[in-house]
Amino acid sequence: MPAVIEGGRIEAAPVVQGCLSKMAIAPGEPGGPVRYTLRAGEHRLDLNARLGQPLELNWTGAIACTHCGRATKKSFAQGYCYPCFKKLAQCDTCIVKPETCHFDAGTCREPEWAERHCFQPHVIYLANSSGLKVGITRGTQVPTRWLDQGAIQALPILTVETRQQSGLVEVLFKEEVADRTNWRAMLKGEVEALDLLAERDRLLARLDGGLGRLRERFGVDTIRALDEAPVTFDYPVLEFPRKIVSHNFDKQARVSGTLLGLKGQYLILDTGVINLRKFTGYEVAVS
């Protein structure tokens, strides 16, 4: 991609190359937008600084497993080779559906990993990414989880002691509220602000009986209410797309356009959008 420098001489813009990781996202300064960093191998690129400028990503055709590093023809579960996908506890279905945890049955793929990741405090939260939703995350992943989902508002409402408990609470809340984001609406910016405190109080009142039964099962102090204020996020978007067109490295190795925005794990280009997290482990050249 050519770049004009002082004196009018044209040179090729710097190219960085490496395997993609999900973008690093951090809250911005008070009143400022969320900060985005693209990660390609050891390289880091400040994407906020690239807003309004051309951006090009070229997939080399190579994919590396994010766990073991071996080459793979296909990525499983957003970044793993097939052997790792089949053996790692972090790729088991109970990670997506924690209420199905089978640790006590002695069938966990990696008991030591589970003890470090699943047997620690988790937060149940309400968020507004494309409308009201419920979600769960480890306490250490706040607010990263909300930013990855493109939430403009979020509110922690309960804390529990284990991942399985968080899944059971989430199942209870799913009787009243969605647990998924409409990513197209999220990217179009078609999201109105909500009164999350009022929604919290409404849901806790309606689900009081179910929460009481879970406390009887696990202990009265295992599921605790939180009294926190909602948080809001402003994403660096110059222009939301009117129509969603998705880029896919598996179908087209070259993705390019003017960078118009960043939300969730998506790049918003004038040519379409791409979910970089979906292509974790893909080796790309970025210019």
The percent helix, strand, coil of the chain (3-state, each to 5) is: 30, 30, 40
- Residue among 252, 203, 242 nearest 225 (CA): 203
C-beta separation of 245 from 36 below 8 A = no
Does residue 173 sit in the same domain as residue 228?
yes
Give residue 195's pLDDT band: very low, low, confident or very high (50, 70, 90).
very high
Give residue 190's pLDDT band: very low, low, confident or very high (50, 70, 90).
confident
Does residue 125 sit in the same domain as residue 227?
yes
**Would 46 be classed as within a structural domain?**
yes
Does residue 228 sit in the same domain as residue 136?
yes
Is the pLDDT at 9 greater than 90, yes or no? Answer: no
Does residue 148 sit in the same domain as residue 212?
yes
Using the 3D structure, point to which of 191, 215, 232 is the last residue of a domain: 232
Does residue 149 sit in the same domain as residue 108?
no
Range of the domain at 41: 2-78+235-286
Residue range 173-183: average pLDDT?
Answer: 95
What is the reported pLDDT for 166?
98
Does residue 194 sit in the same domain as residue 125?
yes
Does residue 152 sit in the same domain as residue 191?
yes
**Would 259 be classed as within a structural domain?**
yes
> How many domains is the chain partitioned into structurally?
3
- Selected residue with higher pLDDT from 144 and 15: 144
**Would 65 be classed as within a structural domain?**
yes
**Would 163 be classed as within a structural domain?**
yes
Does residue 213 sit in the same domain as residue 249?
no
C-beta separation of 38 from 23 below 8 A = yes
- The mean pLDDT value of the chain amounts to 94
Does residue 208 sit in the same domain as residue 132?
yes
Task: Tell me the per-residue pLDDT of 213-260, one tens digit each, with 9 for 90 and over.
Answer: 999 999 999 999 999 999 999 999 999 999 999 999 999 999 999 999
C-beta separation of 158 from 136 below 8 A = no
Does residue 227 sit in the same domain as residue 142?
yes
Is the pLDDT at 71 greater than 60, yes or no? Answer: yes
Give residue 81's pLDDT band: very low, low, confident or very high (50, 70, 90).
very high
**Would 11 be classed as within a structural domain?**
yes
Give residue 202's pLDDT band: very low, low, confident or very high (50, 70, 90).
very high
Query: What does the radius of gyration of the chain's CA atoms come to, in whole angstroms?
Result: 21
What is the reported pLDDT for 31?
84
**Would 83 be classed as within a structural domain?**
no
What is the reported pLDDT for 285?
98
Does residue 74 sit in the same domain as residue 92?
no
Residue range 34-40: average pLDDT?
Answer: 98
Is the pLDDT at 282 greater than 60, yes or no? Answer: yes
What is the reported pLDDT for 255?
98
Residue range 47-60: average pLDDT?
Answer: 98
Instruction: Tell me the C-alpha distance between 49 and 56, whole Å.
Output: 15
- The neighbour count for residue 33, using CB atoms within 10 Å, is 17
Percent of the chain topping pLDDT 90 = 93
Is the pLDDT at 1 greater than 90, yes or no? Answer: no
Q: Please classify residue 160 by burial: count the beta carbons closer than 10 Å to its beta carbon, then call 0-12 exposed, 13-18 middle and 19+ buried.
A: buried
Does residue 59 sit in the same domain as residue 43?
yes
